[in-house]
Amino acid sequence: MKVIADIEVCVAAGVCAAIAPDVFDQDDEVGKVILLDENPGADQHDAVRDAVLSCPSAALRLVE
């Protein structure tokens, strides 16, 4: 699994960081997504899928 985050589309809702904090964080200044791990381990896959589906701006994508 590879995660792609588009910071131009991100609206800084923080949902991804709340759901999968080992994979996503937020920029301290503007709040936009920071991708901590673009290839998360299998133990993170469910949380990452939930975060991608929950993103209100569709700024996150998965390549499996």
What's the CA angle centered on 31, arms 35 and 54, to 5 degrees? 65
For residues 13 and 57, the answer to whether their CB atoms sit within 8 Å is: yes
| Tens-digit pLDDT profile for residues 11-42 | 999 999 999 999 999 999 999 999 999 999 99
pTM above 0.85, yes or no: yes
For residues 11 and 60, the answer to whether their CB atoms sit within 8 Å is: no
**Beta-bridge partner residues of 5:** 60
